[in-house]
Amino acid sequence: MFIANGDYSLLQGNYLFSEIAKRTAAFKANHPRAELIRMGIGDCTRPLVPAVVDAMHRAVDEMGDIATFRGYGPDFGYDFLREAILNRDYLKRGIRIDVDEIFVSDGAKCDVANISELFSKDCIVGIVDPVYPVYLDTNVMAGRSGRYDPKLRGYERIVYLPAVEQNGFVPDLPQVPVDVLYLCYPNNPTGQTLSKEQLKRFVDWANACGAVIIYDSAYEAYIRSVDIPHSIFEIDGAKTCAIEIRSMSKTAGFTGTRCSYSVVPRELVRKDSLNNTVSLHDLWARRMSTKFNGVSYITQVGAAAAYSDEGYAQLTGVVDFYMENARIIREGMERAGYTVYGGQNAPYVWIKAPHGDSWRFFNEILEGHHIIGTPGAGFGAAGEGYFRMTAFASRENTLAAMRRIGG
């Protein structure tokens, strides 16, 4: 008799953005004429830049010609893309990694989710609260969470590190044992960053206790301040404790085109549950070659074009565009009387809900102003009382949203 994985039943409610989509659809059904402005999900609205479009056309033509057609690609990505990533994202910033430490995949969400297959089931998982829900949900589905405790508004075996006003949205180091810690900076949803000194504390902690840090730097392109690290590998000691996950989604408008990569250093070595000494690089390589078949050649050619000088210059303009939206939201919401965080080195603005109830604020903003944001409570118990707005709408809609709200 087939028995299904019971850990899925420990998940609380639906995946956040699916829930928001449902509520939005219900509102639209009741208010068919409402002109909704979407500032909820972090989804790009600017088109692919010309350098990427041109490259993808060339790749499509190659795929249609028997002389240049490509079948299965290399398991870990084409070298032309891995080398482009290496050069621009690492070597140009003075960070030394090897090209074979880069694994190209079809999305940071997938990598963030799949990386947990490398952890033993008993690993204690630590997450910042509030947090991108995928870190938590994928560990619940893999049996690492224990049961949800409604009183604690959290899972028994998950260690939550609150990032709240009182600590300037910078979590303290874990005070109890944590084996694997997810960090996302620039942060989704709070829009905060870590300085090199703050990040170094986490790296030193991980090396001291043998923990592994999963570092999600999907939003690094949005950093404006020169002293904020773009990569955890800018920090001494990170190669023995960290895996970095990056995305083309927000840097190149690839939310619907799908490309990302992870860096798993060769120096990252631990024991496994059978007491073998194992390289996490080799485990990830094995996972990728066994359970994945690479990213579309056409997509990889487009991604590589985003790293060319021409493409990069065009994309800098796109990122600047969104960051101007972030400024408009930040200043608009402040003028409307709200307390506002983030939006200076990240495309997310984190707004204090006046009465402390974030789903109520979500409904008020939806019904009163026809604007969709994301309720902070959807990101964890410590997100209650906040509301996330994203800078990815059009300029027109961003300005219109602020006018509607009174900013």
Return the residues of window 247-276 that contact a copy of itself according to CB under 8 A: 253, 255-258, 270-276
Closest separation in Å from C-beta 150 to a copy of itself:
17
Counting contacts by CB under 8 A, is residue 243 touching a copy of itself? no
347 vs 385, which CB is nearer to a copy of itself? Answer: 347
- The distance of closest approach from Cβ of residue 153 to a copy of itself in the complex, given in angstroms and rounded to an integer, is 20
Cβ closer to a copy of itself: 27 or 292? 292
Instruction: Return the SS3 of 387.
Output: strand
The amino acid that residue 267 corresponds to is E
User: Is there binding between residue 320 and a copy of itself (CB under 8 A)?
Assistant: no
Listing DSSP states for 10-34 in one string gives GS-SS-HHHHHHHHHHHHHHH-TT-
Distance CA 55, CA 49 (A): 10
Give me the half-sphere count of Cα atoms (radius 13 Å) on the Cβ side of residue 394: 6
DSSP 41-72: S----SPPPHHHHHHHHHHHHHHTSTTT---S
**Rounded alpha-carbon distances, angstroms, from residue 174 to 182, 207, 237, 251, 381:** 12, 13, 19, 31, 17
Query: In the bound complex, what is the minimum distance in angstroms from residue 202's beta carbon to a copy of itself?
Result: 14
Find, among 10, 54, 19, 58, the residue nearest to 40 by Cα.
19
Q: Is 1 in the site for a copy of itself (CB under 8 A)?
A: yes
Q: Which residue has the tokens 């899925």?
A: 8
Query: Which residues in 100-139 contact a copy of itself (CB under 8 A)?
Result: 106-107, 109-110, 113-114, 117-123, 134, 137-138
Which C-beta is closer to a copy of itself: that of 189 or that of 407?
Answer: 189
Q: Could you give the CA distance from residue 186 to residue 92 in angstroms, rounded to a whole number?
A: 20
286 binds a copy of itself (CB under 8 A): yes
Print the binding letters for residues 178-217 with a copy of itself: x by CB under 8 A, - otherwise: -xx----------------------------xxxx-----
Report the DSSP beta bridge partners of residue 244: 215, 263
Token pair 């952890």: residue: 119
Among 33, 96, 291, 355, the residue binding a copy of itself under the rule CB under 8 A is: 291
- Nearest distance, CB of residue 228 and a copy of itself, angstroms: 26
Print the binding letters for residues 8-37 with a copy of itself: x by CB under 8 A, - otherwise: xxxx--xx--x-------------------
DSSP state of 367: H
Residues 44 to 73 in contact with a copy of itself, rule: CB under 8 A = 44-50, 52-53, 56-57, 60-61, 63-66, 69-73
Residue 97 has which token pair?
Answer: 């990694």
Taking CB under 8 A as the rule, does residue 335 contact a copy of itself?
A: no
Tokens of 189: 């949803």
Number of residues this chain uses to bind a copy of itself (CB under 8 A): 90
Asked if residues 41 and 17 have their Cβ atoms less than 8 Å apart, the reply is: yes
Given the complex with a copy of itself, which of 128 and 241 has the nearer CB atom? Answer: 241
Looking at residues 138 to 157 of the shown chain, list those that interact with a copy of itself (rule: CB under 8 A): 138, 141
Q: How far is the CB of 222 from a copy of itself (least distance, A)?
A: 17
Measured distance CA(312)–CA(306) in Å, rounded: 5
